[in-house]
């Protein structure tokens, strides 16, 4: 089962391949690194060396990472560590493509906004206009509710039949929800992170565009931005160049854990990309080359509070202070992008291991270059009470 960045983990998806104590130890270590880097940043004249020190656990014959730091749209640090494929001993590189997991949601939101700009749909369209097979409980749900996790839709992970053996796709999510004539709460009254919502958005993008979600992303986002190796991966249809495979610790050894039953659902977490391609994506978010200014404002503006008073949600983006960010956690991968638009500064960390979450690392790296970054405050938010925003550890089984 997938553990995607920012999601509310289902009751069946809360198990981790590392123990709760290991998770707490990892987050404590990274928090200490963050605070230490904040205290000594002025004395350090070689940020690259500092980043190498922070990334030391990813070096050697272990699942690796790719790290990117951008200022004014240009890379000022671009480096990879460890291995993309342990079995084949293939090193990670800046061109290595990792499964982004919930970092995918920013692309799903952008696809919706492009269709709004084209007049193909509106944010206030009832979702049953596009998905009429949904039950009456979905009558009040609008597209904007799906984007902001305020729909109340049932988590599809919680209603998957126990006998499921084949991977689910976005259309399977719709079929599961067709049988759920209920919601967790009255639409628009609460926030609950919803992978179901973003899977349905992928279907709506396909129907409104007359294409399919993966093709729309390729033709309207990836190709225009020259993100040539980024793909919404469909087994048997597309391929992933320079692919990183995911790993988890089991019995004190790395085990390939690259796919789960929900890994083929595209809208909530199915895109693969590299730090090189994400540099092009980040650059596009500062001007009109992809989205109009009004669309970017909508995506980056707080639309709802979350369970953490320090974190709000836009369209596919979390908002903490002056930063826009989203993590992506799935079986075998942990990723994050943290943007400081006012400073035209971004950090991306992609990893092909299931632990730890690299949000703390990204903040520590940001602090090396951007002394004004409220990194300690943001770290508190990352470890705070918003269980929807950050994966919770539990005992392994």
Average pLDDT across each block of 10 residues of the chain; the chain has 397 residues. List them in order: 37 34 45 51 73 97 98 96 98 98 98 98 98 98 98 97 94 98 98 98 98 98 98 97 97 95 96 98 98 98 93 97 95 97 97 94 95 58 34 30
Q: How far apart are CA 149 and CA 182, in angstroms?
A: 16
> Which domain covers residue 233, as residue numbers?
58-354
Report if residue 317 sits inside a domain: yes
Residue 396 has a pLDDT of 28
Output the furthest CA–CA distance in the chain (Å, rounded): 61
| Number of domains observed in the structure of the chain | 1
The residue whose two tokens read 């919930």 is: 102
Q: Which distant-in-sequence residues (6+ apart) come within 8 Å of 366 by Cβ?
A: 338, 340, 345, 347, 373, 375
Find out whether 196 and 155 touch, Cβ atoms under 8 Å: yes
Question: Cα separation of 330 and 76, whole Å?
Answer: 28
Query: Alpha-carbon distance 92 to 98, whole Å?
Result: 10
* Tokens 């799903």 -> residue: 108
Nearest CA to 213 out of 111, 101, 131 is that of 111
Are 351 and 275 in contact, with CB atoms under 8 Å apart?
no
Q: How high is the pLDDT of residue 84?
A: 98
- Cα-based angle 276, 81, 224 (whole degrees, multiple of 5): 10
Q: Is 222 exposed, middle or buried (0-12, 13-18, 19+ CB in 10 A)?
A: buried
In a domain, 41, yes or no: no
Q: Which residue has the tokens 């705070």?
A: 384
> What is the model's pLDDT at position 175?
98
18 is a domain residue = no
Q: Is 353 helix (H, G, I), strand (E, B) or coil?
A: strand
Which residues are paired to 349 by β-bridges?
67, 336
Which CATH number fits the domain that encloses residue 151?
3.40.710.10
Q: Which of 137, 123, 136, 154 is CA-nearest to residue 8? A: 154
Q: Is residue 10 part of a domain?
A: no
Residue 127 lies in a domain: yes
Backbone φ, ψ for residue 260 (5° rounding): -130, -175
Dihedral sign from CA coordinates of 157, 159, 162, 165:
negative
CA–CA dist 321, 302 (Å, integer): 11
Strands annotated E in 37-140: 65-71, 74-81, 83-85, 90-91, 98-99
| Closest by CA position to 353, among listed 121, 129, 137, 101 | 101
Element (H, E) at 172: helix 170-178
For residue 281, the model assigns a pLDDT of 98
Question: Residue 27: inside a domain, yes or no?
Answer: no
Residue 369 located in a structural domain? no
Phi, psi of 202 (to 5 degrees): -60, -40
Phi and psi at 322, nearest 5°, equal -95, 5
372 occurs within a structural domain: no
Please state whether the peptide bond connecting residue 263 to the residue before it is cis, i.e. omega within 30 degrees of 0: no
List the structure tokens of 354. 């299931």
Q: Name every residue whose Cβ is closer than 8 Å to that of residue 163 and which is 6 or more positions away in sequence.
A: none
Reading phi first (left if > 0) and then psi (alpha if -120 to 50, else beta), residue 101 is in left
Helices and strands, counts by H and E, the chain:
12, 15
């Amino acid at each position: 089962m997938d553990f995607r960045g920012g999601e509310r983990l289902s009751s069946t998806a809360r198990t981790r391949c590392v123990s709760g104590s290991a998770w707490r130890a990892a987050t404590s270590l990274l928090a200490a690194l963050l605070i230490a880097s904040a205290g000594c940043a002025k004395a350090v004249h070689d940020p690259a060396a500092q980043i190498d020190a922070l990334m030391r656990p990813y070096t050697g014959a272990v699942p690796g990472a790719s790290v990117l730091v951008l200022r004014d749209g240009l890379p000022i640090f671009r480096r990879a560590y460890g291995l993309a494929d342990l079995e084949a001993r293939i090193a990670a590189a800046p061109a290595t493509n990792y499964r982004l997991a919930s970092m995918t949601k920013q692309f799903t939101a952008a696809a919706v906004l492009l269709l709004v700009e084209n007049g193909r749909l509106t944010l206030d369209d009832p979702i049953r206009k596009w998905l009429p097979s949904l039950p009456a409980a979905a009558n009040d749900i609008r597209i904007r509710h799906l984007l902001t996790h305020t729909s109340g839709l049932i988590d599809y992970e919680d209603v998957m039949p126990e006998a499921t053996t084949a991977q689910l796709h976005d259309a399977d999510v719709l079929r599961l929800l067709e049988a759920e004539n209920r919601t967790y709460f009255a639409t628009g009254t609460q926030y609950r992170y919803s992978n179901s919502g973003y899977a349905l958005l992928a279907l709506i993008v396909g129907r409104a565009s007359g294409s399919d979600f993966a093709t729309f992303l390729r033709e309207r986002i990836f190709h225009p931005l020259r993100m040539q190796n980024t793909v919404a991966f469909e087994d048997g249809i597309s391929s992933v160049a320079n692919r990183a495979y995911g790993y988890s610790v089991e019995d004190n050894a790395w085990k390939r854990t690259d796919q789960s039953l929900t890994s083929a659902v595209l809208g909530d977490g199915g895109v693969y990309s590299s730090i090189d391609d994400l540099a092009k994506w980040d650059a596009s978010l500062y001007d009109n080359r992809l989205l109009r200014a009004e669309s970017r404002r909508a995506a980056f503006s707080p639309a709802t509070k979350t369970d953490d008073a320090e974190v709000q949600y836009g369209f596919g983006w979390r908002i903490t202070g002056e930063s826009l960010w989203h993590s992506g956690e799935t079986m075998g991968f942990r990723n994050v992008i943290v943007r400081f638009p006012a400073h035209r500064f971004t950090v991306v960390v992609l990893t092909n291991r299931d632990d730890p979450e690299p949000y703390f690392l990204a903040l520590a790296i940001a602090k090396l270059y951007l002394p004004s970054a409220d990194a300690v405050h943001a770290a508190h938010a990352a470890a705070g009470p918003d269980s929807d925003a950050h994966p919770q550890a539990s005992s392994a089984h």
